[in-house]
Amino acid sequence: MNPWDWLDKQHVMTIATTGSAGPWAAAVYFARDERRFLFVSSSRSRHALDLARDARCAATVNGDAPDWTSIRGVQIAGRARVLVGDAADAARAIYFRRFADMLDNADPEIRDALARIGYFELVPERMLFIDNSNGLGYRESIL
């Protein structure tokens, strides 16, 4: 299975940060632009505040798995930052395109919030694809 094709079928990424209050993890919807992962968050969220202090983070994308051998996922280590100006506008366009079906039926309040919220990018420095259908603990470096 091509890890990039698999990623394009997923929607939720868990981002993990460390800050003055210790480690933290949060699930976010993501859109992928080549090898960048785009996500939204409030600038006041704990992980956004952590990233403002230290851009290093980790993330996972996992599919649902009814048994051990069907576990698939991606482990990511990299750096994330809030986007501003034209970069934020470009990310917003990619994000809206990715979730167009969901947003078409969304409450206008959600669409308005997504127009005002912070857009972030996670740039991976290392990525591993986990696919237990190839054997328990199978990992493949994809970046």
Q: Compute, in degrees rounded to 10, the torsion defined by CA atoms 45, 26, 8, 133.
A: 170
pLDDT digits (tens, 9 = 90+) for 20-55: 999 999 999 999 999 999 999 998 899 999 999 999
Q: pTM above 0.75?
A: yes
**What pLDDT does 107 receive?**
84
pLDDT digits (tens, 9 = 90+) for 82-125: 999 999 999 999 998 999 888 888 888 887 888 789 999 999 99
- Predicted confidence (pLDDT) at residue 65 exceeds the cutoff of 80: yes
Across-strand partners of 73? 62, 130
**What pLDDT does 64 receive?**
92
Q: Which residues, 6 or more positions from 98, have their beta carbon under 8 angstroms from its beta carbon?
A: 31, 32
**What pLDDT does 108 receive?**
85
Residue spans of the domains in the chain: they are 3-131
**What pLDDT does 80 receive?**
98
**What pLDDT does 85 receive?**
95
- 3-131 under CATH 2.30.110.10, yes or no: yes
Distances (CA, A) of 28 to 2, 11, 135: 23, 8, 29
Tokens 């079928």 belong to 9
Closest CA relative to residue 40, chosen from 127, 98, 101: 98
What the block records as the tokens of 112 is: 């308005």
Closest CA relative to residue 123, chosen from 35, 53, 39, 40: 35
Helix axes 108-116, 85-98, angle to 10 degrees: 150
